[in-house]
Amino acid sequence: MIKNYFKIAFRQLKKNKGYSFLNILGLSLGMACAMLILLWVNDEVQYDRFHKDYSRLYQVLENQAYDGKTYTFAALPGKFGPAIKQELPEIKYSARADWGSRVLFTLGDKSIYEVGNFTDPDFLKMFSFKLLKGDTATLLTDPTSIIITNKMAEKFFGKEDAMGKTLKVNNDKLYTIKGIMEEPPPSSTLKFSWLASFKIYEGQNQWLTQWGNNGIQTFVELNAGADARAVNKKLHDFISSKDTSAIAKPFLFSMNEWRLRNKFEEGKQAGGRIEFVRLFSIIAILIIIIACINFMNLATARSEQRAREVGVRKVMGAGKGMLIRQFFSESIFMSLSAMLIAALIVWLVLPSFNTLVEKKLSFDPGNPVISGGLLLMALFCGVLAGSYPSFYLSSFNPVTVFKGLRIGKNSVIVYVRKGLVITQFIISIVLIISTIIIYRQIQYVKERQLGYNKDNVLFTPLYGKMRGHYPAIYNELMATNVVENVAASNNQVLSIGSSSGDFSWEGKIPNSQLLVSMEWVSPQYVPAMGMKLASGRNFYDDITSDSSSIIVNETFAGIIGKKDPVGQIITRGNGRKLTIAGVVKDFIYNDMYRKPDPLILFCDTSNVNELAIRLKANRDISKAVSKIETVIKSNNPAYPFEYKFLDDEFNDLFKSESLIGKLSRVFAFLTILISCLGLFGLAAYTAERRTKEIGIRKVLGATVPNVITLLSKDFIRLVVIASVIAFPLAWWMMNKFLQDFAYRIAIQWWVFAVAGLLAVAIALFTVSFQAIRAAVMNPVKSLRTE
Amino acid sequence: MIKITNLEKVYRTDEVETVALNKLTLEVKEGEFVAVMGPSGCGKSTLLNIVGLLDDPDSGSFLFNGIEVAKFNERKRAELRKRNIGFVFQSFNLIDELTVFENVELPLIYTGVKSGERKKRVEEVLDKMQIMHRRNHYPQQLSGGQQQRVAVARAVVNRPKLILADEPTGNLDSHNGNEVMQLLTDLNEQGTTIVMVTHSEHDSRYSHRIIRMLDGQTVLENIMV
């Protein structure tokens, strides 16, 4: 029986080539699209799952409350990790780690920067990174040895065994390689090229001994059966029990959620990438539904042709159930064929898709998860697409079909078909509107007035002896004649990392806490970055004369609330008094969508890490860069010269937004394409059905435009109805989407008008092809065929 | 075999009510060959649909082999139909996507006959109808006469007790028409009951009895000698 079903399905396909082509193409495109999305989703969901004990692994985060606002940080005191392991029986392992250090490694004349972490020995026991060589028991205990990844080993030693060899670190000490680890997989949140003992880091950072100073990451593994909620209760006041002035409230953040739910608002989890995962999963399902709707519509539109067959089969003894099974087999056969083509499409476009989403997704049908998924998808599509046609076609009464079945204008099936077309266009129009709004939002933020000039600024890290040479480097760079100004700072302007609640001033509400960002800069920072002073003065060129002067931003000045903030005294917790020398106009840092937080600039170059060099405008960039390189190299010959442009870094901040923008454009285009394939087929059948009517109309004097209007009118009406439903839906969705951005565009009416007109135009274009063909047909011929 | 009493069937659309069968009474005995004649719209086809268990009457009684089937639901009618009744249509109603062999095989598939047995029976009947050489052709590749022979083969392959023929020669020339009538006569002689609707006086002469209908009723019966 099944064989018989598939035989008929295959012959049906062959007989109606055009119809089958439209159907299978639409379905394959939809499936290919959904497969790509699901590969991406699967990759996101599988993040960090390679760790054996991932369900018991946590990072410890902490909340700090300031005047009703709660901020969440990953930074913890240096003593925290060892203390909780000792005091809380639930903690099996605990490892501290720095934020990832960029270190220069040298072997002979080969010098390469590599990023890695200083961490505790438990790191190796809790995480399942594969140690290729070395002894877990002794590694990371001794401050003169290091673990490197196989990839890093290859860079320095090629095929040679790196074990026991030494590398010079930051042109200073020699470290012995005592372990070789496999490069962390792409699906790992933690990424490093080397690991070294945390003792080294402790030796360099004395503040790690203070309970009030939050500065490093802490990871823990709980004992099997330990209750995370109970541990959280104990952690809550752990730090304040050691130092009563400390306000950090630690809690566990499960590894399951590192990748997808790492956004915190007011101390509570507030999503993260999971929103993209959800969004794209929904889009995948919508695209599949659109493709299945094509199938349903084309299948039911052809029902007049299939009706006689149904009649004959029923007369021959087929029951309704048998016919339902037959039509389901046909749709499943169709969707299996579509799946094969979809797999081919995925295989072909995966490299480009990987570039687009910056992943290394692989598509291996030999993998049971992938092949199982494909089969499931084909079955799902086959059943979904075949559902309505099966029940509809099998319900035909042989007596009626032999009399000659004509489906009236008002029959239920016609309404269902119209409803399905409307559904497709609702989805398409919503996607068009969303695409436009997302694009405009991203552009809007990118073009936001930053409060400084991001163009023509290059950044280079200050390494080695450069910090001590800063005044000389400054003078030499200024003498190159390609540089307009130079400044040094602790962080790059896009991400100012330090903050403190430890400030007070006259008139401050007692016991109120305000988190203030802090940045340490050279005197030329404000002019070099192109920032403007609102009042007061810039720092003096002579650093020593401004050691207790600060510049604050307008937001902070507003909070202090004095008419003239210049000259006001700000007192730090340790009693040090600082005088406001100037107020800098607000500039945007860290969060490009929010208003800036209050900020203090200190005039202090003892800890600076970044050199910002503003090039003179309209100079040959490569020549300018080479002149700068000469200066830097002469001051720090042992380090390779590396630089980045500020505007590139700025664009990088919008990576995920840009990705969403790009993907939504691709998906919107595909959705419309698939919908149009269906519309095209439907228009063809309508034209075919009305051949006689068109012939009669033409004989009676109808012109070609009359006929085109006649045939297109019905479809255009459907698109208009779809627009009316899609507009409020899209408005609601986009309004919700924009709520996440404090700095956002207003939704404008013209976006809807454009989307509606675009949909009508596309539909008209699709339908008119068939309409024109029917309209120009010779009426004598069309009447004869009836 | 068929005993119909006071059978009524009315077709209704929004505005029009058409009485197709008006208290019709009729009996057909096993082994008979009956021709039903009458002008267009007199209810011949409606009668045939009801007798063929494709349609149900609004009222009246229909005994099929002594069983009252007038109130049977679709599923029960289908069950009874596929085991007892074969159909031959004016427009053949072969399935274009199936070969001659597969078309004839269809009723056997639906009655659940095993594949080996199916092959044997289909070949037997194709042989009898002299279209064995066309077994792998599709209907469009055959002449009208050949198509109707396939249709007859399909109607008899399940060895039904009753064959209903709706103007079986309507689409055929006289030569092919006579051949099909001869086939039906042969079947009748082998014991199959046949009820045939026809406009052709010539064809009606093959039957034992002619029932003439008008406005949903039988008006005259001629016994053929």
Give per-residue pLDDT as tens, A161-214.
Answer: 999 999 999 888 899 999 999 999 988 999 999 999 999 999 988 888 888 888
Return left, alpha or beta for B107; rule: phi > 0 is left, psi -120 to 50 is alpha, else beta: alpha
Distance from CA of A318 to the nearest CA of B (A): 6
- The reply to whether residue B52 touches residue A315, judged by beta carbons under 8 angstroms, is yes
Q: How far apart are CA B36 and CA A275, in angstroms?
A: 73
Mean predicted confidence (pLDDT) in A305-325: 85
pLDDT cut 70: percent of chain A above it = 98
Q: How far apart are CA A346 and CA A340, in angstroms?
A: 10
A1 CB neighbours in chain B (<8 A) are 109
In the prediction, which pLDDT does A365 show?
A: 83
Mean predicted confidence (pLDDT) in A231-260: 93
Distance from CA of B102 to the nearest CA of A (A): 9
What are the tens digits of pLDDT across the range A53-99? 999 999 999 999 887 789 899 999 999 999 999 999 999 999 999 99
In the prediction, which pLDDT does A182 show?
A: 95
Asked whether the predicted pLDDT for residue A404 surpasses 70, the reply is no
Q: How far apart are CA A710 and CA A713, in angstroms?
A: 6
Closest Cα in chain A to B154: A316
Distance from CA of A12 to the nearest CA of B (A): 7
* Residues present in chain B in total: 225
A309 CB neighbours in chain B (<8 A) are 95-97
Range with the largest mean pLDDT of A444-448, A576-580, A593-597 = A576-580
Residue A291: name the closest of A33, A519, A109 by CA: A33
**How do A110-119 and A101-107 pair as beta strands?**
antiparallel
- The reply to whether residue B110 touches residue A316, judged by beta carbons under 8 angstroms, is yes
In the prediction, which pLDDT does A442 show?
A: 85
Residue A406's pLDDT band (boundaries 50, 70, 90)? low
* Residues present in chain A in total: 786
A275, with CB counted inside 10 A (0-12, 13-18, 19+), is middle
- The reply to whether residue B49 touches residue A12, judged by beta carbons under 8 angstroms, is no
The helix/strand/coil state of B94 is coil
Of residues A619 and A526, the one with the higher pLDDT is A526
Residue A39: name the closest of A270, A377, A265, A399 by CA: A377
Distance from CA of A299 to the nearest CA of B (A): 16
Mean predicted confidence (pLDDT) in A515-533: 93
Return mean pLDDT, chain A. Answer: 88
- The reply to whether residue A317 touches residue B110, judged by beta carbons under 8 angstroms, is yes
Q: Which residues contact A615 (CB under 8 A, 6 or more apart)?
A: A456, A457, A458, A482, A483, A484, A621, A624
Query: What ipTM was predicted for this assembly?
Result: 0.82
Distance from CA of B41 to the nearest CA of A (A): 12
- Orientation angle between helical segments A412-446 and A704-739, nearest 10 degrees: 50
- The reply to whether residue B110 touches residue A311, judged by beta carbons under 8 angstroms, is no
Which of B74, B93, B158 lies nearest to residue A308, judging by beta carbons?
Answer: B93
- Which of A316, A324, A411 is the mutation pick for testing B, counting most B CBs within 10 A? A316
Which of A12, A308, A318 lies nearest to residue B110, judging by beta carbons?
Answer: A318
What are the tens digits of pLDDT across the range A739-757? 877 788 999 999 999 999 9
Asked whether the predicted pLDDT for residue A408 surpasses 70, the reply is no
- Which of B11, B14, B80, B82 is the mutation pick for testing A, counting most A CBs within 10 A? B82
Of residues A406 and A215, the one with the higher pLDDT is A215
A315 CB neighbours in chain B (<8 A) are 52, 54, 81, 87, 93
Residue A540's pLDDT band (boundaries 50, 70, 90)? very high
Show the low-confidence residues of chain B (pLDDT under 50).
Answer: none
B52 CB neighbours in chain A (<8 A) are 315
- The reply to whether residue A315 touches residue B109, judged by beta carbons under 8 angstroms, is no
Q: Are the CB atoms for A407 and A345 separated by under 8 Å? A: no
B89 CB neighbours in chain A (<8 A) are 402
Which of A309, A317, A402 lies nearest to residue B82, judging by beta carbons?
Answer: A317
- The reply to whether residue A316 touches residue B78, judged by beta carbons under 8 angstroms, is no
Mean predicted confidence (pLDDT) in A330-349: 92
Residue A668's pLDDT band (boundaries 50, 70, 90)? confident
Which of B54, B96, B106 lies nearest to residue A398, judging by beta carbons?
Answer: B54
Q: What are phi and psi of A142, to 5 degrees?
A: -110, 130
In the prediction, which pLDDT does B225 show?
A: 64
DSSP state of B207: S
In the prediction, which pLDDT does A786 show?
A: 39
Which of A1, A15, A402 lies nearest to residue B109, judging by beta carbons?
Answer: A1
- The reply to whether residue A12 touches residue B81, judged by beta carbons under 8 angstroms, is no
- The reply to whether residue B106 touches residue A319, judged by beta carbons under 8 angstroms, is no
Of residues B200 and A688, the one with the higher pLDDT is B200
- The reply to whether residue A319 touches residue B78, judged by beta carbons under 8 angstroms, is yes
